[in-house]
Amino acid sequence: MTRPSAAAIAAEALAARDGERQIAPFSSRGDGLDLATAYDAAAQVRATRLARGELPVGRKIGFTNRTIWDEYGVYAPIWGTMYASTVHELATLGGRFALEGLAEPRIEPEIVFGLARAPEPGMDAAAVLGCIDWIAHGFEIVQSIFPAWKFAAADTVAAFGLHGALLLGPRRSVIDADRAGWLASLSSFQIDLLRNGQPADHGHAANVLDGPLFALRHLVEVLAADPAQPPLEAGEMVTTGTLTRALPIAPGERWSTALHGVAIDGIEVVFA
């Protein structure tokens, strides 16, 4: 049995998303799915979404949190594209977000960077920080077009990096006087994730490849090694991976965070 083309995979993944239905993982069929074909499919998805008027605004990095690799059987980070239609300011939403249309949604508390200029391969963490205009805390709402969250890494790439939405908290400007503090705290802070005011999970900055700056640096290196993919550009935002486990969410629940050891406030959302 032959492996389906990247174009066919992209079309089926988009049809599943648009039709709000789930499908069998591509990796479970025929000759399976490799990462190279999956990223080709992701590029086809991006081209289709651009053609129908969606505006790319940044990237999401997934599976940077090593503590969840065994849970999903995925042992290396992946990335996907985010769009203006999927990124929302929590303040504009009034702290509420509707989950309609998302397949088995889960919540991921993350650190998000806004780029003043594109980081370059080979930069250390301090140099990467020097490319950042603002820092925010956000919730990425991930979804799985594959039932019961069963998939291989390549499936997640073809399926938009599992990205459903990004809910952004306040943006903190990064000024020169703060850079030493940011550099230290972004690798050492801790976070509590709460459901309806009760502890749901606890996380550490170091969970995401030793800190969000290192997750961003990883993405820069990955993109540099794959000239078929668009490099990061000034003005893009990058969300760097969940600091805790990704937990199932449902309408009526109130989710919030408290961060310790970093100059970023917690955020809160109620799911409608």
Question: Would residue 126 count as lying in a domain?
Answer: yes
Token couple for 71: 């849970």
Residue carrying structure tokens 């919540």: 107
Q: What is the pLDDT along the chain (272 residues), one digit of tens a residue?
A: 567 899 999 999 999 999 999 999 999 998 899 999 999 999 999 999 999 999 999 999 999 999 999 999 999 999 999 999 999 999 999 999 999 999 999 999 999 999 999 999 999 999 999 999 999 999 999 999 999 999 999 999 999 999 999 999 999 999 776 888 999 999 999 999 999 999 999 999 999 999 999 999 999 999 999 888 899 999 999 999 999 999 999 999 999 999 999 999 999 999 99
Beta strands in 105-186 (DSSP E): 106-115, 132-142, 163-173
- Containing structural domain, residue 265: 55-271
Phi, psi dihedrals of residue 267, rounded to the nearest 5°: -130, 170
Question: Would residue 257 count as lying in a domain?
Answer: yes
Question: Would residue 104 count as lying in a domain?
Answer: yes
pLDDT digits (tens, 9 = 90+) for 86-142: 999 999 999 999 999 999 999 999 999 999 999 999 999 999 999 999 999 999 999
User: How does 140-150 read in b/e, with b if 16+ C-beta sit within 10 Å?
Assistant: bbbbbbbeebe
**pTM to 2 decimals?**
0.95
**How many independent structural domains does the chain possess?**
1
Question: Would residue 9 count as lying in a domain?
Answer: no
pLDDT digits (tens, 9 = 90+) for 114-124: 999 999 999 99
Question: Would residue 152 count as lying in a domain?
Answer: yes
Whichever domain contains 255, its CATH number is 3.90.850.10
Residue carrying structure tokens 């301090």: 126
Which SS3 state, helix, strand or coil, does residue 51 take?
helix
Using CA atoms, how far apart are residues 48 and 46, in angstroms rounded to an integer? 5
